[in-house]
Structure 1
Amino acid sequence: MNKFKLFIDILIPVAIGGIVGFIINPYIDYNSLVQPPLSPPSIVFPIVWTILYVLMGISYYLLKNPSKKEKIIYFVQLGVNALWSLFFFIGKFYLFSFIWIILLDVLVIFMIGIFYQNSKISGYLQIPYLIWILFATYLNLGIYVLN
């Protein structure tokens, strides 16, 4: 086990999430929006995202000699994920954000399949992420419709 590589692989998504969170924090007015049913309290989001970013990093670490395709899908979905937050919270482009998060859903489904071929555990570790972003897709649509 290469502990330094594991640390870096976890640090990358956690740092990206942290930087995006720092950037969008002044713009978050989530609680002032009309919420769809099942919306969790806002405190849940940073906790869940931190856990998911750690799982992403571990999943990437467990890939055996990641291929170019695995690297591309991983880093592209990280970028799409980060941009969604900017579109949703800063831009308040709720419909565009909904379309964008569907793109993220599709990318993560593909990523799970690609990772699974290399390492079953890597694929499985992405499933909580997929479940959460599918839930986020529902919340995004609800906010668009209700606001």
Structure 2
Amino acid sequence: MALYPMSKQVLGFFGWLSICFMAAALGALASVQAGAFYQSLMRPPWAPPGWLFGPVWTVLYILMAISAWLVWREHGFRKAGLALSLFLVQLAVNALWTWLFFVWHLGSLAFAEILILWLLILITAGMFGRRSRVAGALLVPYLAWVSFASVLTWAVWRGNLHILA
């Protein structure tokens, strides 16, 4: 049962969507030159093409927003403040990765940071799942993609030590 009236739920949904896409925009600022840089790197044969990242992340950010919104609308910050705050922290950590990797070329820090992101997503998904099974499940594709991205980060970093510190 929703905690808020329908009008506030709609505003809340667009609020969570805006928060998620603000994080995406911060990452996008860092990835303006990412396409050319990504193409210049030695990548494993299983690395996806650069054009795939945008559509995948768009879907993931939408799923993240819906997940946070479901928890918020059922429990609010009063009862789910820790879970929602952790969601916001992992969102900030998510945005930081692009800067570490594509702007500052810090492969080792990007790899360490994505492992922290993975752990934060796992904990957030667990906390959300205890409040809403659907909300927790909506974070599973995000966790799966970041799992893949972690392995890719490792492989690209290790194959480009001369570029990525």
TM range, smaller chain: over 0.9
Instruction: Tell me, in whole angstroms, the C-alpha distance in 1 between the residues paired with 2:40 and 2:30.
Output: 19
Give 1:25's aligned residue.
32
Aligned residue pairs, count: 147
Query: What is the CA distance between 1:23 and its match in structure 2?
Result: 3.4
TM-score normalised over the length of structure 1: 0.95
1:6 aligns with 2:13: yes
1:65 matched to which residue of 2?
Answer: 75
Summarize deviations over 1:102-130 as a string: whole Å, max 9, x none. 00010001011000000000000000000
Letter in 1 for 2:83: E
2:139 equivalent among 111, 123, 126: 126
Between 65-74 and 55-64, the greater mean CA deviation after superposition: 65-74
The sequence identity of aligned pairs, in percent, is 33
Moved over 6 A (4+): none
RMSD over aligned CA atoms reads 1.2
1:34-65 alpha-carbon deviations (Å, 9 max, x no partner): 00231111010011111100100000010122
- The equivalent of 1:101 in structure 2 is 114
1:116 maps to amino acid: G
Partner of 1:77: 90
Cα distance between partner residues in 2 of 1:95 and 1:23: 18
Q: In the aligned structure 2, how far is the partner of 1:32 from the partner of 1:14? A: 28
Structure 1 CA distance for aligned equivalents of residues 53 and 131 of structure 2: 30
Distance of 1:98 and 1:141 partners within structure 2: 6
**Long gaps (5+) in structure 2:** 1-5, 161-165
Task: Measure how far apart 1:72 and its partner are.
Answer: 1.7
Contact in 1 for aligned 2:21/2:61 (Cα 8 Å)? yes
Displacement of 1:71 in angstroms is 1.7
Aligned to 2:3: none
